Amino acid sequence: MDVLRIVSPIYGENCYVAVTANKSALVVDPGAKTAPRIKALLSELEAELAAVLLTHGHADHLWNTAQVVASNPEVPIYLAKPDHFWMDAPGPGVQLGVDNYFTEMDGAWEPVTVQAPPDELFTGGGAQIIPDLTLRALPAPGHSPGCTMFFGAAKGEDHGQGLGFDGREDQTFCFSGDVIFKGSIGRTDLPHSDPEVMTETLRTLKISINPDTLLLPGHGESTTWAAELATNPFLR
């Protein structure tokens, strides 16, 4: 499976494009100014967009969603239900004035219709989110009420981007959004974030995640859960 990262020039947000062997594509967190690069990448890989997955409802992670699905309006857009309330105006979820800033940088927000991820993703071994890609979802609130981490296993190919895929057939990976970063965690001083809830989430994650898991975060470099358990001060 091809997994490639596109970094938004606004807030340095990481968008990921995963393309399975049958050329179905999942786009994760299409931030501002990522749509042209996403479309070019899908064309280059001869892939067809099958779904968009949003790890949470903050503006920097979804500003280009409408542009990405414009030519395929039937494509599902998944976002955990607790964050649906931001879809009319996602900017204030980060801070007041962000909508105006993003509009100046990349045009006005275009509302989209989202749906909750299938319930099956949250139980057992998960379920297919697109053909040939099974993900398991784990709620991880704190940074936002609907923050969700999505886990999969595949032989990943990052085309030299250095994301951390090592050639194993079933390497566990996670689209971790703004829950965990390399050496840090998502902010909890934003509207609708909650430091106490984040603390409980981190306690749960410490006993729930395979240390070997490759984390593909919403900002910054990729890392592993083992590395974060050993070095991340917020997990001590």
pLDDT (0 to 100) of residue 187: 96
Two tokens, residue 13: 């947000």
- What pTM value is reported for the model? 0.97
The confidence score (pLDDT) of residue 100 equals 85
User: Burial of 101 by CB count in 10 Å (0-12 exposed, 13-18 middle, 19+ buried)?
Assistant: middle
Q: Which CATH superfamily is domain 2-235 in?
A: Ribonuclease Z/Hydroxyacylglutathione hydrolase-like (3.60.15.10)
CA-angle at 178, arms to 175 and 182, nearest 5°: 80
Distance between CA atoms of residues 25 and 71, nearest Å: 14
Residue 5 sits at φ, ψ, to 5 deg, of -105, 135
**What residue spans define the domains of the chain?**
2-235
pLDDT at 98: 80
Average pLDDT per run of 10 along the chain, which is 236 residues long?
98 98 98 98 98 97 98 97 91 69 91 97 96 98 98 97 96 99 97 97 97 98 98 96
Q: What is residue 95's predicted lDDT score, i.e. its pLDDT?
A: 63
